[in-house]
């Protein structure tokens, strides 16, 4: 996308006054392929119409998709919508996690939940190039992410199994069925008694630009102690952090976020990452953190316009702008963090994503998806999507 910084700054300022007067015609379809969550399951929204996929899983980058349909597991190309039968299934299996290359899928008998129900055992089904296999595991085990080579599955082990209220991240070896602790960042095994146990809410997860790390934002961690705190004897009490899983080297690390991150409602937080920076927004307090994906350290925190009681969304443009979604879109200059404009929307923002060519910004909303010109923010279309809960990806 061609960068014309002065023009964009002027246009963004003008939209604060004039952008809300744009009234787009309701379109039958969006010009790009979109993936969205809804109360009807996962939706594929394409120029040819809406495709209801129901119980489905999608990779963190939106590149691969599996859906359980008609007694089998279908592998679906998100771009074309073409489906191929991966394997036959008994009723009740739900796709949960897909490897980054789309070759392996983990399914469970229960769907994703903020607080899973008590149970003594968990059965996971793994499908891939080697066929299908079931793993019968002790306790409450929830799939989280595959290792880069697809031979291991990171899982959340909820404790205690009789009344789950906190969890730890562990690694299931798919060859042996063993569930074991992760390595520390220096690639040494975590000693017994030093595994982190978390009580917070996982808000959002994104892949690093090189696809080797998974960043997951956690909030509300009263009394949480990192492995490094447990080993050193420090008390620890992080209210929000980014949990980093290295999908190749199989270690975990927690990047603490400073106060007041994590103090307000979970929905008011969001994160986004590219090859240069990991951004975390807390729109409850009006803070935006810049972190280094390589050193895993906070570089600075800047003030942004707070939007109390909102659901936050973040997107990064190719021409060094940051888009903050919450009741509208606030445009920030990446270098300074200063606001350069505000694009109004007809309601709350439920997800924000850019088209592949960078020309359109899509915003999920209440029963709709709206798209805007990414250069100047003028609303150029809208499609009705009954029951939409979150816009996830532009394919």
pLDDT digits (tens, 9 = 90+) for 107-144: 999 998 878 999 999 999 999 998 999 999 999 999 99
What confidence score (pLDDT) does residue 51 get?
A: 94
Residue 186: its pLDDT value, please? 81
Q: What's the average model confidence in pLDDT over 302-311? A: 92
Q: Report the pLDDT value the prediction gives residue 237, as an integer from 0 to 100.
A: 56
Q: Assign 373 a pLDDT band (cuts: 50, 70, 90).
A: very high
Per residue in 72-83, pLDDT (tens digit) is 999 999 999 999
This prediction has a pTM of 0.86
Per-residue pLDDT band at 46 (split at 50, 70, 90): very high
Residue 378, C-beta contacts closer than 8 angstroms, at least 6 positions apart: 15, 19, 22, 372
171: nearest Cα among 199, 193, 186, 190: 190
Q: Round to whole Å and give the CA distance between 349 and 27.
A: 19
Give the mean pLDDT of 263-282: 95
pLDDT of 199 above 90 = no
Across 97-116, average pLDDT: 93
Strands 379-384 and 26-27: parallel
Let me know how long the chain is.
395
Nearest-angstrom CA–CA distance, 322 and 75:
34
How many Cα atoms are found within 13 Å in the side-chain-facing hemisphere of 124? 27
Average pLDDT of the segment spanning 308-333: 95
């Amino acid at each position: 996308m061609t960068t014309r910084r002065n023009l964009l700054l002027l246009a963004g300022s003008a939209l604060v006054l004039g952008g809300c007067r744009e009234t787009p015609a309701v379109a039958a379809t969006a010009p790009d392929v979109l993936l969205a969550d809804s109360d009807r399951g996962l939706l594929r929204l394409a120029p040819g119409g809406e495709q209801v996929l129901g119980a489905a899983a999608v990779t963190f980058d939106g590149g691969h998709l599996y859906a359980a349909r008609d007694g089998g597991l279908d592998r679906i190309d998100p771009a074309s919508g073409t489906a191929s039968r991966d394997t036959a299934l008994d009723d009740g299996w739900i796709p949960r996690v897909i490897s980054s290359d789309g070759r392996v899928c983990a399914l469970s008998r229960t769907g994703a939940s903020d607080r899973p129900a008590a149970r003594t055992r968990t059965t996971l089904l793994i499908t891939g190039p080697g066929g299908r296999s079931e793993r019968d595991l002790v306790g409450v085990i929830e799939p989280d992410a595959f290792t880069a080579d697809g031979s291991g599955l990171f899982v959340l082990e909820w404790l205690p199994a009789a009344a789950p209220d906190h969890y730890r991240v562990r690694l299931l070896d798919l060859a042996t069925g063993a569930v074991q602790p992760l390595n520390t960042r220096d690639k040494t095994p975590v000693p017994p008694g030093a595994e982190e146990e978390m009580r917070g809410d996982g808000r959002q997860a994104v892949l690093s630009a090189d696809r080797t790390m998974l960043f997951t934002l956690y909030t509300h961690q009263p009394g949480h102690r990192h492995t490094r705190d447990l080993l050193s004897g420090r008390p620890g009490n992080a209210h929000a952090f980014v949990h980093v899983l290295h999908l190749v080297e199989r270690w975990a690390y927690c990047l603490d976020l400073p106060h007041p991150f994590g103090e307000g409602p979970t929905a008011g937080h969001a994160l986004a990452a590219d090859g240069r920076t990991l951004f975390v927004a807390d729109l409850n307090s009006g803070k935006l953190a810049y972190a280094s994906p390589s050193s895993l350290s906070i570089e600075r925190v800047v003030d942004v316009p707070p939007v109390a009681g909102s659901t936050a969304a973040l997107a990064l443009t190719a021409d060094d702008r940051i888009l903050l979604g919450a009741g509208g879109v606030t445009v920030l200059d990446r270098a300074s963090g200063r606001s350069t404009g505000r694009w109004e929307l007809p309601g709350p923002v439920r997800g924000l994503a850019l088209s592949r060519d960078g020309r359109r910004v899509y915003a999920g909303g209440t029963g709709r998806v709206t798209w805007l010109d990414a250069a100047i923010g003028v609303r150029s279309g809208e499609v009705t999507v009954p029951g939409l809960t979150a816009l996830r990806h532009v394919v």
